[in-house]
Structures are given as C-alpha cells and as structure tokens.
Structure 1
Amino acid sequence: MQDLMKRVPELSLLIGLSIVGYFVMGAFNQVGEAGALTGGGAFLLVLASFVLSIMIAIVAVIAGVGGGVLFTPIMMAFTSIDTLIIRSTGLVVAMFSGLVSSGPFMRKGLADVKIVLYCAIPIIAGAMLGSYAAIALAEVMGAQGDAIVRLLLGLILVFIAILFIVGGSNTEYPEAGHVSRFSEWMGLKGSYYEESLGRPMHYQATRVGIGGILFLLVGFTGGFFGLGGGWAVVPVLNLVMTTPLKISAASSGVLLAMGNSAAIWPYIKVGALIAALAAPWMLGQVIGGILGAHILARVRANFIRYILIVLLFLTSLKLMSRGVETLLGIDIPVL
C-alpha cells in the first residue's frame, strides 16, 4: 500500500497524459477526415499540435531523449499527414530542443568545442545525405516509399527500446584506455570542474575514427527519418569515445542543433516544412521542457522510462503494420 501511495504522482501523470493524448489524437483524426482545412480545422490542428508538443517534451525531458524520437514515430503511426512534412517538423522539434539547451551548456563550459567541431562534420554530412535520400525516395516510390519508411522506422524503434532496456552501462567518468596516434594528433582532450567532486576532471577522447563513422550514420538516420539523434549521440560520445557523461550530454545538445539545422534545408527547398504546423511544435517544446524539468524533481525518471519503452514498442507495432498494409495491400488489425 505504501509503495502504491509513493507512485501516485507517476500514475497521475500517466493517466493525465493518456486522457489528453486521447483527445489530441481525436482532433488530428477529425482534421484528417475533413479533407481541405477550414478555418476551424486549421485552428484545431494548431491547438492539437501545441498540446501534443508539450506532452512529448515533458516525457522526453524526464526520460532523457530528444523530442524527435517521440514526435516522428507517433505522427507517422497515427496520422495521415504526409511523411515528408512529419519528418521536416520532427527535425524542427529536435533542432529546437538542442538550441534551447546549447546556450547554458556553452556558458558553463561543459560543451567541448573541439569535440563538437570534429563530430559536427560527419553528423552534418550524414544528416544532409539522409534528407536528400528521404526526398528522393518519396519522389521515386511515392506511397510505397512511405510504407518502407514506416516499416524501417518501426524496426528502429524496437532497437531504441532495447537500448533503453539494456542501456544502464553509461559511465560517468569512463577510462580512456589506449589512446591511438590519431586521437593524440586530433588533440580532443580537455578538463572541466566537477562540482559534485570538488575538483577538476581531465579527459581524453579515444577511438575518434570509429566515432566519426558512427556520427555519419547517426546523422543519416536522423535526417532520413526526422528523428534527430539524441538517442545515439550521447552513447557514441560516452561509450565509444570515452568522454565524461556530462561532457557527452552537453556536447550532444550542440551537435543536435547543428546537425538538424543542416538537415532541414533540403526539406525546406521542396516545400515540406509548413510554418503554421512547425511553430506550435516549437513553442510547445519550450513550455513542455520547462514543465518536464520541474516534474522531474517530483517523479522517478525510471518509471517514465518504462512508460517510454512501452510507448516505443506499441508505436513500432503500429508503424510496421501500416507499412505492411501499404506494401501488401492487406488490412492488419493492430491497435
């Protein structure tokens, strides 16, 4: 009984988000069934986008992921909005999350400028390639291309959910181990003052060649699917390149802002970014991020991560079922 009482805040949050989410997705369905948008339909779409953005930002902050990881799959799975528009807006969501967090990180000296500049080259190149590949696939294959994107995105969500299940291996102060000549030549090392320990911490990035290749892949995945890359940037910096967790998290925000800012331009060129849809999502990310930071102090983050894992699995099922339905022309009764 006492354990149940301790979980009242978490359960209240879950129930509240579920109720609001039900009405928000109902609003999206009404807009989708209406065909051409009237004035009231457009207002309903903007309002629903704003509310859903706040909800996604709250869960993303508490769970420690980027908003794009939730936005793009949910919108692709449960709405009929064009996938290019969803992916471009998803990049805006991820980009704005990075922009909001990058300023404080830079002022505190936690974001390593040298590491950011090194990793920015492959992540920007990969993001641009991913965006152009997404547009080319949509032009060549049309609805079949959208089905392939939904199917692949569903598989990626399963992979991300598994990472969250087994992802307890992050080390706050990883050991550098053997430092290659290339790592030494790049000079990706530094120090910062660790307030919790009351002393400066020194670090040296390693395996920077492998890290560069992985950032190219992360950038491509983020640009192609409109996910951003918050789920992968921190693990690559922390586990592969052995940078401290705080440096990894701070540098991740700056890298996401830079990579997603570049990835969005190909979508803008083909008219896939609609300002009236993107604006409420940007504002909702700010408000939801602030609320999520306050809620984080009152609930258990692990509880929210369990909710996120379930949400990722359920969304992946819906995405894969919609992809298979379009490719094979059958109806799969999932969710």
Structure 2
Amino acid sequence: MNRLFKSPWLEVNLMLAILILSYIALALISWGAETPPEGMSGGAIWGWLLGFFLLSFAIALVAVIGGIGGGVLFTPFMLAFTSVDSLIVRATGLIVAMFSGLVSTGPFMRGGLANLRICIFCAAAYGVGAFTGAKGAIYVAKHLGETGEGLVRLALGIILCSLAVYFVVGGRKIEWPEVKKVDGFTKWLRLSQPYYEVSLGKIIDYPLTRAGWVLLPIIGIGLLSGFFGLGAGWAIVPAQNLIMAVPLKVAAANSGVLLGMGDCIAVWPYLLMGAIIPIFAAPWLVGQVLGGLMGALILIRVKAGFVRYLLIGFMFFACFGLLTKGLNMLGVIWKIPIWITGAVFILIFAAVIRAILKQAKSDTETGG
C-alpha cells in the first residue's frame, strides 16, 4: 500500500484520477453543449478524445516494449491514415517524443545511468538541428502546399521503411565498445562519468573517443526529428554507441534525456505557428506517459521478441500508407481502395504471425 504513495506511482495515480475526472467533465459538458450544424457533435468530440488517449496508450505500450519511442509510430500513422494537418501532427509528435524523454529522465538520472555531461555536450547540436528542421517544416507547409504535404509523406515513408529494415537486420550495436585510443579533444572535455551497473554488481568507468565527430550526425538526427516530428532515440543510440564508444545501456539512457532537452527547442516554431492545439495534444501526452510506464513494467516480466515483430509489421504497414497517400497527393496514383489497404494489412501481419510462431518454436526447442 505504501508503494502507491511513492514515485512514480504517486504521479501515475494522480494522473489517472485527473484523467478520469476530466473525461467525466468533458462527457457532461459535451452532452449539453450546442454545436454548429456543420460541425461535430459534442459526443463525437468526446469520443475522438477518448479514442486518442486509448490509441496513444497502445502505441506507447508497444513502442516501449519494442525499444523505441512512441513518436516513431505516432507521426507516421497519423500522417498515413488521417486527414489531420501535417503541421499539427508533427508538432504533437514532437511533444509526444519530448514527454517520453522527460518521463524517463528522472529514473535514469537518479540511478546515475544517464551521463549528463554527454547529454549537455550533444544537446546544443541536437537543438540546432531540431530547430532548423522545425523551421524547414513550416516553410514547406507555407510555400509548397499540397505538393509539400505529399513530399513530406513520401520522404517519411522512405525513412520509416529504412528504419523497419534496420530493425529486421538488427543493426550493429556493441554493448561494451572497446576504445583503443582516446583523442585529445575528448580527453579535454572529460565527458566520462562512472556508474553502478546493477547486472554486474560493480562500478563501470568507461573511456570515450571521437566526441567531435559525433556532433555532425547528432545535428542531422535533430534535423530529421524537428522536420518530421519523430522521436529520434532510434538514431541517437547507435550514433553515441558506434562513434563515441558509449556503452549501449548508457547511450539508451542518454537518448531519453537528450530528447527531453532537445525537442523542447524544436517545439517553439510550431508553438509560435499555432500548430499545437492543447485539446488535441493532451490525450496523446497522457496516453504516452501511462502507456510508457506500463510498457516498462511489462518489459521486466515478459520476453519482448514477439513485440519486436509486431512493431516491424506496424512500421511496414504505416510505410505503405505514407507512400500511397503521398503519391496520391502528388497526383501520381489514384486513391487506394480500402480493400487493397486491408489486403496489405492481412499479408503483412500473416508474415508477422509466421515469424512469431517460428520464434516461439525456436525458443521451445532451445528451452528458452
């Protein structure tokens, strides 16, 4: 019982209480409110807001167990399968990514796993890239109109497809990178910060290298994040791990802190543009926080291999939606009939189910 009144459960319980009261109040207001004949009814608005929360919760749950941020699924699905303005979607996606990072920052910093020195060093580069990307997104929306919308979806579809392929092949990550030589610039910065590794039961003091070389990739990652409204943890982790030789666990913790620090910079151009609508963004934020915490708890107790396959399936399906919608907006193809979209969904998830069953059989044979 005492655990319910300690962090993070105290915050979760307060958030749940506020959430329930808010939806009850919205329901009472919507049933009695008069709306314009050409607009949505109050009940429909309430239903959409509830749906946004439930969908956000599900996205965060799957994403955390699969090892990525919720923004990687949120933005592509919203751009692929809804008619919501792309600037609003991307602005909300950045807020989703930012809050996902902020939620994880506390535990990572308290445990000493996240390296604040590396985060501060990379934050300026990431912030410059993210801010530039956000300004670029607004410029494209203002000057290219429908063509810009189509190009954004096409580009995001290609990026998402590349990311899905990266997840299929596993990517090259090194849990404990070996540093043969520390360059003078990295040594001068003194970025290394020892931490206690629970799984090994000892303090780890890791050397770092090539700190200067990591800045350019971090700027590019920030640019993509700000322009498309994506969480960028999937790219920050390998950049730090492979270039700077940051241990994998530390790089993952750093990415959460860096998203919380850097994406708040990218949000400002969208905020000044009026692309952030609180009533639209709020359900997504709360869903991300609660879904992320629940996903973290489930991740401790279950094997997450099957969720990885689900994640890849969702990404390929969203990629199909983005590419076809982008080509349609550019006038290259006709609007894809719903039965074709349904058939693609069935084919993709038939392959996903086959992969899950194959993995389960392999685990059974090896006794895992």
User: Do residues 115 (structure 1) and 101 (structure 2) align?
Assistant: no
Residue 168 (structure 1) shift? 4.8
Q: Distance in 1 between matches of 2:40 and 2:263?
A: 29
> 1:224 matched to which residue of 2?
227
> 2:252 matched to which residue of 1?
249
Q: Which has the higher contact order (CA 8 A, sep 6+)?
A: 1
Q: 1:288 to 1:315 in 2, by over 3 A?
A: same
Letter in 2 for 1:97: S
Structure 2: stretches of 5+ with no match in the other structure: 1-36, 342-368
Q: Distance in 2 between matches of 1:35 and 1:187?
A: 62
> 1:281 matched to which residue of 2?
284
Q: Decide whether the 8 Å contact of 2:233 with 2:252 is kept in 1.
A: no
- One of 63, 88, 103 as aligned partner of 2:91: 88
Q: Distance in 1 between matches of 2:91 and 2:207?
A: 36
Residue 295 (structure 1) shift? 2.6
Question: What's the TM-score, normalizing by structure 2?
Answer: 0.79
Q: Distance in 2 between matches of 1:170 and 1:271?
A: 40
Q: Which structure: larger Rg?
A: 2
Alpha-carbon deviations, 1:244-276, whole Å to 9, x = none?
122111111110001111111100101000000
> 2:303 matched to which residue of 1?
300
> 1:73 matched to which residue of 2?
76
User: Do residues 325 (structure 1) and 292 (structure 2) align?
Assistant: no
Q: Distance in 2 between matches of 1:64 and 1:219?
A: 19
Deviates more, 1:46-55 or 1:179-188: 179-188
Deviates more, 1:198-207 or 1:317-326: 198-207
Corresponding residue SS for 1:193: strand
Q: Distance in 2 between matches of 1:176 and 1:291?
A: 36
Q: 1:240 to 1:167 in 2, by over 3 A?
A: farther
Question: What's the TM-score, normalizing by structure 1?
Answer: 0.87
Residue 100 (structure 1) shift? 0.4
Residue 215 (structure 1) shift? 0.5
Alpha-carbon deviations, 1:14-51, whole Å to 9, x = none?
xxxxxxxxxxxxxxxxxxxx973331222122111101
> 2:133 matched to which residue of 1?
130
> 1:12 matched to which residue of 2?
none
Letter in 2 for 1:41: A
Deviates more, 1:160-169 or 1:134-143: 160-169
Q: Distance in 2 between matches of 1:290 and 1:282?
A: 12
Q: CA RMSD in A?
A: 1.5
Alpha-carbon deviations, 1:50-82, whole Å to 9, x = none?
010000010011001001000000000010000
Deviates more, 1:181-190 or 1:125-134: 181-190
Q: Distance in 2 between matches of 1:191 and 1:254?
A: 17
Q: Distance in 2 between matches of 1:151 and 1:35?
A: 32
Letter in 1 for 2:265: A
